[in-house]
Amino acid sequence: MRILIVGAGIAGPTLAYWLARAGHQPTLVERAPELRSGGYLVDFWGAGFDVADRMGIVPELQRRGYVIPEARAVDRTGRRLASIRSSSIMGAAGHYVSVARADLAATIYAAIGGAAELILDDTVIGIDDHGEGVHVAFERGPSRDFDLVVGADGLHSRVRQLVFGSDEQFERSQHIVVAVFDLPGYQPRDELVAVMYAEVGFQVVRVSLRDDVTMVVITARHDGALPLHDRAAQQGLLRARLAGAGWETAAMLEAMPRSVTFYFDAASQIRMPAWTRGRVALVGDAAACPSLLAGQGSALAMVESYVLAAELMAADGDHATAFARYQSRLGPFVKSKQDGARRLGVAFAPRNRLDVVTRNTAMRLMGLPKVADLVMGRSFHDAIDLPAFSPA
Ligand SMILES: Cc1cc2nc3c(=O)[nH]c(=O)nc-3n(C[C@H](O)[C@H](O)[C@H](O)COP(=O)(O)OP(=O)(O)OC[C@H]3O[C@@H](n4cnc5c(N)ncnc54)[C@H](O)[C@@H]3O)c2cc1C
């Protein structure tokens, strides 16, 4: 089948890889003019790690990525409150890596090895599913016909808007805004430690990475509209929101305009009753963004893409059957991840003093041997059996 995949992030190239393996002809269209590298780090583990393993890309992810051995909570003076070893949560098995989102995307794309067509600097502006196929209009290139179209175009998916309707129906605000930026040459450094400071309404995290780069992640409570396309307004909002915050916050905010990459968005979830309609399907954040609070969006994006491709293969091209199985196999699993992420919002941006005390106490307890595994261990093991993938 000729299958158009909109978006070459994490979900899109994963789907292209598995569709090509099954003998389909995938085409990826990406609105960015190039596939970038670097950007914010994602922790990558669980069933998504298993998919990466089946694609043979784990060694490359480990080469490009990091193992961050310690998460440390500090107070407004920088005094250590708690320290958690990642091995006590993840186990020592090495089924875990932190890697720049764009490096993960690039590694997946490289694994396709030219078996998918890639169109850069373009997007879809019209999707006409006429039952026998899908006629697609592009912003720049000529219109084309496909058998199926898959939206893998992230949280603000154009495909979802065109085929399923407006964002308001599906976007669930977590009332938290997230900003991530890198600070070359920032001091002080704690090599490969995630140092975390939280007060009522916000959390600031810094991670010292290779090449003298520090990554800063800010999550803050926010209600109302966000300036999504105006960087100066975004940075102004952060400065106002965190005015007077302790620890190193003032120095980080002062250095912020010098950052090379800057990410800013709402920490929303996407909740949809159905991820498919006719000959169109959604995967990844476009279908079911769990928000960064889940710490697992990339892994879920890969699982969804893998399962969709496996179900298409098992149904021998009967897309209606495959789409129904895709939804029923993953729906409850994804919902449980989204529900879990919502509960974690208080850790990323405590609502009140009690939340701050509870968060810090929980982190102290998790620093004790065995407690972390007892409390968190189960949530780090995905309750899903991946279907087999054995193309003819
Ligand atoms: C700050 C932050 C921290 C995170 N931390 C983690 C973590 O620790 N662990 C984890 O697993 N996940 C994490 N996530 C979530 C993770 O980044 C996403 O869930 C994951 O990237 C989703 O993959 P995707 O392919 O669905 O979407 P994306 O990665 O967003 O990719 C979508 C692609 O589609 C392209 N696109 C968008 N619109 C169009 C269009 N109209 N036409 C064509 N192309 C388009 C985009 O340019 C992009 O390349 C984090 C997210 C954030 C914001």
Which backbone phi and psi does 24 adopt, to 5 degrees? -85, 170
pLDDT mean over 133-147: 98
Q: What is the sign, positive or negative, of the torsion defined by CA atoms of 221, 242, 194, 108? A: positive
Same domain as 151, residue 120 = yes
Q: What is the sign, positive or negative, of the torsion defined by CA atoms of 138, 141, 144, 146? A: negative
- Position 283 in a domain: yes
Ligand 1: which residue has its CA nearest to atom 35? 7
Same domain as 218, residue 252 = yes
- Position 303 in a domain: yes
Same domain as 223, residue 122 = no
User: For 54-78, what is each residue's pLDDT tens digit?
Assistant: 999 999 999 999 999 899 999 999 9
**Which range (2-16, 100-114, 341-355) has the least confidence?**
341-355
What's the pLDDT at 338? 93
- Position 338 in a domain: yes
Q: 101 C-alpha to center of ligand 1: Å?
A: 8
- Position 364 in a domain: no
Q: 286 C-alpha to center of ligand 1: Å?
A: 9
Residues 6+ apart with CB under 8 A from 149: 3, 4, 5, 6, 124, 127, 129, 134, 136, 159, 279, 280, 281
Same domain as 15, residue 96 = yes
What's the pLDDT at 391? 66
Same domain as 259, residue 198 = yes
- Position 40 in a domain: yes
* CB-CB neighbours of 296 under 10 Å: 26
Give the end of a domain, one of 266, 288, 322: 266
Give the end of a domain, one of 266, 287, 317: 266
Q: Over 70: is that where the pLDDT of 315 sits?
A: yes
Same domain as 305, residue 161 = yes
Query: Which residues contact ligand 1 via a Cβ below 6 A?
Result: 6-12, 29-32, 40, 42-44, 101, 123, 152-154, 158, 178, 180, 263, 284-286, 292, 295-299, 301
Same domain as 243, residue 111 = no
Q: Over 70: is that where the pLDDT of 377 sits?
A: no
Same domain as 248, residue 128 = no
Q: Is 167 exposed, middle or buried (0-12, 13-18, 19+ CB in 10 A)?
A: middle
Same domain as 338, residue 218 = no
- Express as a percent the part of the chain with pLDDT over 90: 80
Query: Using CA atoms, how far apart are residues 292 and 352, in angstroms rounded to an integer?
Result: 21
Q: How many domains does the chain have?
A: 2
CB 204 within 8 A of CB 78: no
Which residue range(s) make up the domain with 227?
175-266
pLDDT mean over 77-98: 81
* CB-CB neighbours of 225 under 10 Å: 7
For all residues of the chain together, what is the average pLDDT?
92
* CB-CB neighbours of 33 under 10 Å: 9
User: For 174-231, what is each residue's pLDDT tens digit?
Assistant: 899 999 999 999 999 999 899 999 999 999 999 999 999 999 999 999 988 899 899 9
Same domain as 124, residue 254 = no
Q: 211 C-alpha to center of ligand 1: Å?
A: 24
User: For 247-297, what is each residue's pLDDT tens digit?
Assistant: 999 999 999 999 989 999 999 999 999 999 999 999 999 999 999 888 889
pLDDT band of 378, cuts 50, 70, 90: low
Query: Using CA atoms, how far apart are residues 103 and 146, in angstroms rounded to an integer?
Result: 29
Same domain as 215, residue 101 = no
Highest mean pLDDT among 40-49, 280-289, 373-382: 280-289
Query: Using CA atoms, how far apart are residues 351 and 255, in angstroms rounded to an integer?
Result: 27
